[in-house]
Amino acid sequence: MKRIHYAWMILGLTFLSLLTVQGFRSSFGAFILPWESEFSTTRGMISLLALVSFIVYGLSQPVIGRLIDKVGVRKILSLGTLLVGISAILTFFVTSSLQLFLLYGVIASIGFGGVSGVAASVAVTNWFQEKRGLALGIITAGTSAGQFVLVPTSLFLIEWVGWKTTIVSLGIFLSAIVFPILFICLRDYPEEKGIQRYGEEKSEVLESENPVNETGAFLYVMKTRSFWCLAIPYFICGYTTIGLMDTHFIPFTHYCGYSTKVASVTVSLLAGFNIVGTVLSGQIADHWNNKKFLILLYVVRALSIVLLLIPNQPYFLLIFACLFGLVNFATVAPTSMLAVHYFKQYSVGFVLGLLSLSHQLGSALGAYLPGLLYDVTGNYNVAFTSSIVLLIAAALTSIGLPNGHKRV
């Protein structure tokens, strides 16, 4: 009987880390109303917390990328999970918004940065020669699955036992269960198991993925059109997904007068289609032109947000959840594969870290600005309209990419 390649075990463990840690991060929107009440603060102030969190997360990404190159994926993923778990437990004892800013906005966000798409993408690159796009799609689906599982669970538990018991329970789960599994079972390279990468022939030579001169590599990457045509749309991607929707979609449903049950169903539907979309995007990225694929994804995302500008139409809300879900994280696989292709002679972790920094800075702005605009205007119309314009700009910028390859 043929043994299952250990690359699939690595994929499963990486999926688990993203599901639990990024799923917890995606549940931020569920805590907005309880935190407003607990700390007697405003929507804009809680959005500022999200801004700080995204900035810390984003700034950590190039550093995390270099650390991964030096100490390996195993330590970064497992210790990042532990840091988030401990931070969540300590949040139980927070008594002021300033403490919350320090604990969640800074410390936990460093942990989020460790358990990110950068580490996951490097793990896939290290372990997969064939079916790399599919593997990238599956690990990205881990974040979607976390949103699917933990956001509705958090909403339910907050309503049932309160936000403090909910967050400490998540922290214990991450620290006592997920962290040991990752630390014991993860491996950095196939050589540690005495095997080749999945789909790699013994005669093949591994690509060099470490730059000879880090400063020179950074300057080279910064000067290329390819990088900026990936980074600018990825900034907009972060603004419209993790920034705007993950932070403000649940409060938006409450603003529209929908019940917690309707909000939970809608978020679950969005996350479910997100899983389908990310897995399919990996398959498509293996076989189609990734430049054209990115353009299509940004256009479809813009069209989906138009539906939210139609007031008090629950059916449109559900259609939005399905359509936006399909394209939500689907940009990760083609963006990562194009980056590996364009800059394969340099550090994969470093380049992906720079792209992730761009994404998280967009997320930071997308989390903060809509909350500020809500305090000023009393609605989300300006935020949604600006997102549509930005997504069209992202599609146009992607046209400037060198022609994508079906496979990289």
Residue 22 DSSP symbol:
I
pTM over 0.95: no
pLDDT digit of tens for each residue in the chain (408 aa)? 567 889 999 999 999 999 999 989 888 878 888 888 888 888 778 878 888 888 898 888 888 888 887 898 999 999 999 999 999 999 989 888 889 899 998 999 999 999 988 888 889 888 988 888 888 888 888 877 887 788 888 888 998 999 999 999 999 999 999 999 999 999 999 998 888 888 876 544 444 444 445 556 667 778 888 899 999 999 999 999 888 987 888 888 888 888 777 887 888 888 789 888 888 888 888 888 889 999 999 999 999 999 998 877 778 888 999 999 999 888 988 998 898 888 876 666 778 888 888 988 898 888 888 888 888 888 889 999 999 999 999 999 999 998 744 443
What are the C-alpha distances in Å from 395 to residues 111, 191, 379? Answer: 32, 40, 27
Q: Taking Cα atoms as reference points, which of 237, 251, 174, 238 lies closest to residue 17?
A: 174
Each residue's pLDDT tens digit, 45-91:
887 888 888 889 888 888 888 888 789 899 999 999 999 999 999 99
* 38, 97 Cβ separation under 8 angstroms: no
Question: What are the helix (H) ranges across 18-104?
Answer: 23-26, 28-38, 43-71, 73-91, 97-100
Say what the pLDDT of residue 198 is: 83
pLDDT tens per residue across span 351-391:
888 888 898 889 888 888 888 888 888 888 999 999 999 99
Q: What is the pLDDT of residue 203?
A: 41
Distance between CA atoms of 333 and 23, rounded to whole angstroms?
19
User: What is the C-alpha separation between 205 and 158, in angstroms, rounded?
Assistant: 52
How confident is the model at residue 76, as a pLDDT?
A: 94
Instruction: List domains and CATH numbers for the chain.
Output: 6-190+209-398 (1.20.1250.20)
pLDDT of residue 360: 81
Q: Mind giving me the DSSP string for 93-152?
A: T--SHHHHIIIIIIIIHHHHHHSSHHHHHHHHHHHBSSSHHHHHHHHHHHHHHHHHHHHH
**CA pair distance 160, 12, nearest whole angstrom:** 31
Q: How much is the pLDDT for 346?
A: 66
Residue 230 neighbours by CB under 8 Å, 6+ apart: 335, 338, 339, 342, 355, 401
Residue 211 is predicted with a pLDDT of: 46
Structure confidence at residue 116 (pLDDT): 86
* DSSP tag of 288: S
What confidence score (pLDDT) does residue 258 get? 82
For the record, the structure tokens of 228 come out as: 């900026």
